[in-house]
């Protein structure tokens, strides 16, 4: 690898590490209740269920690149809080699928709206093209991370 290539990769590594750190700090420091009605795991699970439809725990764990037991614990907490429901799996009568409840979708939408406003404020002086480029590149990065973790 050339020095420029390694330097660029080192810069990317540093920026991703900072993004994760600052993103978490921003989430914790945001004082509005809207950001705090769901923890990060619950939010991600509900977002996925909203977009992908009912899922069994193993499919959910695979999609989120988590251990099944971790997802089972998180799903149990969501069910206890009335944010998801379990139903018989229509493709496998022995299993169950998980779906968000109206209350779960309402909380998820509140967090999503609050986060969208936050990013809108932070990126207000960026051009529409820069915001679109950032969205595209972050999507590509997440896709690459998912593919890497699937092939390990």
Mean pLDDT of 23-38: 67
Domain ranges of the chain: 1-30, 31-150
Question: Whole-number mean pLDDT of the chain?
Answer: 87
Quickly count: other Cβ atoms within 10 Å of residue 47's Cβ.
16
- Where are the strands (E) in the chain, listed by range? 84-89, 92-100
pLDDT of residue 27: 67
The fold for domain 31-150 equals Arc Repressor Mutant, subunit A (1.10.10)
Cα dist. 143→27, 71, 140 in Å?
23, 21, 5
For residues 112 and 61, give the distance between their C-alpha atoms in angstroms, rounded to a whole number: 22
Mean pLDDT of 18-24: 82
Please give the share of the chain, as a percent, with pLDDT higher than 70: 88
Q: What is the pLDDT of residues 97-145, one digit of tens each?
A: 999 999 999 999 988 988 888 899 999 999 999 999 999 999 999 888 8
CA angle 93, 45, 135 (to 5 degrees): 130
In this model, does residue 2 exceed pLDDT 80? Answer: no
Task: Please state whether 81 falls in left (phi above 0), alpha (psi between -120 and 50) or beta.
Answer: alpha
- Where are the strands (E) in 24-132, listed by range? 84-89, 92-100
Split at pLDDT 50, 70, 90, the class of 4 is confident
pLDDT of residue 40: 82
3-state secondary structure of 38: coil
Mean pLDDT of 72-89: 93
Structure tokens at 112: 């999503």
Residue with more model confidence, 47 or 25? 47
Q: Does pTM surpass 0.85?
A: no
Rounded to the nearest 10 degrees, the angle between the axes of helix 68-80 and helix 57-64 is: 110
């Amino acid at each position: 690898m050339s020095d420029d290539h390694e330097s660029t990769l080192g810069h990317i590594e540093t920026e991703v590490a900072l993004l994760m750190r600052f993103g978490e700090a921003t989430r914790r420091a945001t004082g509005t209740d809207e950001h705090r009605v769901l923890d990060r795991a619950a939010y991600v699970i509900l977002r996925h269920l909203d977009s992908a439809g009912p899922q069994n725990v193993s499919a959910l764990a695979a999609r989120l690149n988590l251990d099944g037991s971790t997802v089972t614990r998180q799903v149990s907490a969501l069910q206890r809080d009335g944010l998801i429901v379990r139903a018989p799996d229509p493709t496998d009568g022995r299993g169950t699928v998980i779906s968000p409840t109206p209350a779960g979708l309402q909380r998820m939408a509140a967090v999503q709206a609050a986060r969208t406003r936050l990013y809108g404020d932070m990126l207000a002086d960026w051009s529409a093209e820069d915001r679109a480029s950032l969205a595209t590149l972050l999507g590509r990065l997440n896709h690459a991370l998912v593919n890497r973790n699937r092939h390990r």
